[in-house]
Structure 1
Amino acid sequence: MIAYHFPPFQGSSGIQRTLKFATYLHEHGWEPLVLTITPKAYESTSANQLREIPENLVVERALGLDSARHLAIRGRYFRWMAQPDRWLSWWPGAVWSGMRMIRRHKPAAIFSTSPIATAHMIGLSLCKRSGLPWVADFRDSMTEPGYPRNPKTWEIHRKLEHETVHHCTRAVFTTEPTRQMYSQRYKDIAPSRWAVIENGFDEENFRDAELDLPAVPLSRPGQITLLHSGILYPIERNPRPFFDALAMLKHSGSINGSRLQIILRATGNDDFYRPLIAELGIGDIVRLAATLSYRDALQEMLRVDGLLLFQAASCNHQIPAKIYEYYRSGRPILGLVDPDGISAKMLSDAKARHIADIASAEDIAKTIPRFLESLSAGLEPGISKQFAMKHSRKSRTKELALLLDELAKS
């Protein structure tokens, strides 16, 4: 299993997919071997989830550097040093380590997961050298019209994407719309080579978080607290219309900082949002908060009054991985999404009643008061646990195991 995101990495929900696959595959007769990158490559690390790595799991960490942090001179580096991404230097050492692992352990299949795109480069190289069947896991699409924005990067990503889908034995996606997009893009690929395994939540993590959960809510009396937990991209999850709506509501006297608190936890873009929040005068309502340990982040989800989900039209075929954890938390969700996207459908299926167009400050400004009123009156039930339990990481791992069983028989 070739994965950039693996403990002690901190800062992305992408870590959970590989970690939980690696944890639960043994229940289905598969013993994973993990090939990841040296922790030095990560901008942020935490030891909190290292204890979740199964004791007998083989984990190899190949040397890799971040071009922007380790290879730059006065903050500048050659563009070729970051193609297809800033961790290109991981590729040679990982291929060498991967072939050594293949010779030693004689695995039945290769699995690589992106982003980061270099992981698929490694998977491609190992597949060609070993002849083993290869599962290429696309947590996000590698290319779309206008993404990546740099034309040269787009060209390199599209070439790698083309090679990946034509050499892998199965291409796995996290949503059905993404599978359909790739199926249309590569019509020469047999439908049997595409598969969908959605993301999910881990019940064991939630049970652990609930063990010593404080009985009192996070909010002060008379106050409502809403949370967005995780990366908030300036384009793909653009919160500007949301900020504008808050400013409108504050100006009209509908909300203020004593009645409403919004926590934006670990956005990854605090420096971009901080001046915007100050400019709109909503700093008493919106708080940018630092990264927490995964356990603490789950506890925060369980204690707030409501959760915020952002997803723009440019990602209509993608589902934010955190939606499944939001489901399991049981907290009410305010969806700020494109009405025609898969995220809007997922929220509707979960019976989330308050969904606004992420691009419309006016629509958001109409929806927020209704959501707050419903929360204050105790009329917002949240997501049912029965619905949430359909989306556990254990069930997703079983889907991967069945796919691997197919490959082993062929």
Structure 2
Amino acid sequence: MEPQSVLVFAYYFPPMGLSGVQRISKFVKYLPENGWRPHVITTGPIAYYAHDTSLLDDLDGRDIVIHRTSGSDPNSLLKGKGTVKMPREWMRKIMRAVSDTLFIPDNKRGWAKQALALARKLVQEQHFDAIFVSGPPFSAMMAAAKLSEETGIPLVVDYRDLWYGNQFHFYPTPWHAHRHQALEHDVLIHASRVTVTNRRLKERLIATYNHLNFEDVVIIPHGFDPADIPPTQPVPRHDGAFRLTYTGIFYDVVTPIPFFKAVRKVLAERKDISLELHFAGLLRDEYMKAAKKLELAEIIHDHGY
């Protein structure tokens, strides 16, 4: 039986790295096994905080078609820099505030415009049974909703993060907040189904938009690919150390510094405790400096991304 075709809008896609890329990359990887041939519209070469070619290798040999298009977003304009260092948190906040003030819904609008143009061309050339888009960026959701409106192709919208009402978003004026909500409402009006990562996201969307009901929003939590973790036997350890591991990145109010201070206090009170702190992801220099100031550098193991 001929597989059905789905057109996927995914700005964050291999060879980019980090968590937002992994979710969509794995969705796309396993769609062919479930009767769907994905055509992915994603970005061309860009500057980003992490690149992971193994995620792209993971898709080789599968019934997946990747279409790349560049835009006028900041990452595309800085593509010559390749993998760039994550800015200090105070600088990131300033950059985010400026972006949230000037660009609605986000600074990926230039790419979304090019992605929509490419998508229109593709739907003229072949048949698609569904459109799938994951956000952020939410400008990609707008492009996918526009295509669904024009063609009548069913749309599935995937939320990795909340759009309107996100605690990390900066709304400089009430108009900005209202505009974000109006744009999101327009996207959801055209969605046949909505997928989210957790129950809280589902509850917020249903409470905010009256036309959504319980069946409209489906929870697909973050998971892992068993193929990435081959079967192994546990390795016994006899050194008595207690190991704590954090995977991911820190940003905005999510910071390890209060945790570092608590660990410092515990170690001062309990000389008999042996601790190891492991970090896999991106640990900014400013956090390592804070750890050194608290004399914790010797127990921290930064595995990088």
Which secondary structure state, in structure 2, belongs to the residue aligned with residue 180 of structure 1?
helix
| Other-structure match for 2:40 | 34
Which of 212, 231, 234 pairs up with 2:249?
A: 231
Q: Is the 8 A contact 1:120 1:136 kept in 2?
A: yes
Separation of aligned partners in 2, 1:30 and 1:163: 27
Instruction: Give deviations 1:349-388, integer Å, cap 9, x for gaps.
Output: xxxxxxxxxxxxxxxxxxxxxxxxxxxxxxxxxxxxxxxx
Deviation at 1:68, TM superposition (A): 6.5
Which of 255, 264, 269 pairs up with 2:279?
A: 264
Separation of aligned partners in 1, 2:75 and 2:30: 35
Q: What letter corresponds to residue 28 of structure 1 in structure 2? A: N
Aligned 1:193-204 pairs, distance under 5 A: 193-204=216-227
Q: 1:253 to 1:191 in 2, by over 3 A?
A: closer
Aligned 1:319-330 pairs, distance under 5 A: none
Which of 5, 25, 28 pairs up with 1:22?
A: 28
Deviation at 1:95, TM superposition (A): 0.6
Aligned 1:4-403 pairs, distance under 5 A: 4-10=11-17, 12-55=18-61, 56-67=63-74, 70=77, 79=99, 82-144=103-165, 146-152=167-173, 154-207=177-230, 210=231, 221-235=239-253, 237-254=254-271, 259-267=274-282, 269-291=283-305
Structure 1: gaps spanning 5 or more residues: 292-410
Identity of aligned pairs, percent?
A: 27
Q: Is the 8 A contact 2:32 2:38 kept in 1?
A: yes
User: What's the TM-score, normalizing by structure 1?
Assistant: 0.60
Deviation at 1:176, TM superposition (A): 2.2
Q: Is the 8 A contact 1:84 1:157 kept in 2?
A: yes
Separation of aligned partners in 2, 1:69 and 1:6: 14
Q: What letter corresponds to residue 141 of structure 1 in structure 2? A: L
Which secondary structure state, in structure 1, belongs to the residue aligned with residue 157 of structure 2?
strand
Q: 1:280 to 1:192 in 2, by over 3 A?
A: same
**CA RMSD, aligned part only?**
2.9
Q: Is the 8 A contact 2:131 2:153 kept in 1?
A: yes
Deviation at 1:118, TM superposition (A): 2.2
Q: 1:191 to 1:226 in 2, by over 3 A?
A: closer
Q: What letter corresponds to residue 281 of structure 1 in structure 2? A: E
Which secondary structure state, in structure 2, belongs to the residue aligned with residue 284 of structure 1?
helix
Deviation at 1:155, TM superposition (A): 4.5
Separation of aligned partners in 1, 2:220 and 2:109: 27
Deviation at 1:167, TM superposition (A): 1.9
Separation of aligned partners in 2, 1:255 and 1:283: 18
Separation of aligned partners in 1, 2:141 and 2:9: 8
Q: What letter corresponds to residue 228 of structure 2 in structure 1? A: N
Structure 2: gaps spanning 5 or more residues: 1-7, 79-90
